[in-house]
Amino acid sequence: MKIINDTFSCGIRTVIAKPEGVCSQAIELKIFGDEILDVVFYGGCNGNLKGIAALAKGQKVSDVKQRLSGITCGGKNTSCPDQFAQLLTVLDNN
């Protein structure tokens, strides 16, 4: 997971990250405190990732991180949801 951009404006943290080992090319995340305001995946399985984003909006970072962590895709040891959880973990530790 590589953080490409990390900014704060009016209390909203916007992060753009490049996931590793998955089809999506970038994840753009907006959070306010412990609430996910928005998440957009670029590349990957469009419909599935829009669904994950819709379910994550309005949720607590800790809840989404717990639910998505460890999900795999095909023969990979990670997935776009797992990479999203890893991003949330990285941000939680900073």
pLDDT tens-place string over residues 7-52: 999 999 999 999 999 999 999 999 999 999 999 999 999 999 999 9
What is the domain-level CATH number for residue 20? 3.30.390
- Digit-coded pLDDT (tens) for 44-94: 999 999 999 999 999 999 999 999 999 999 999 999 999 999 999 999 877
What is the domain range of residue 81?
A: 2-92
Query: What value, to the nearest 5°, has the Cα angle with vertex 33 and ends 55 and 67?
Result: 35
| Rounded-to-integer distance, Cα 16 and Cα 7, Å | 9
37, 25 Cβ separation under 8 angstroms: no
| Rounded-to-integer distance, Cα 4 and Cα 35, Å | 21
Number of compact structural domains in the chain: 1
- For residue 71 the two structure tokens come to 């999900």
Contacts of 10 (CB under 8 A, 6+ apart): none
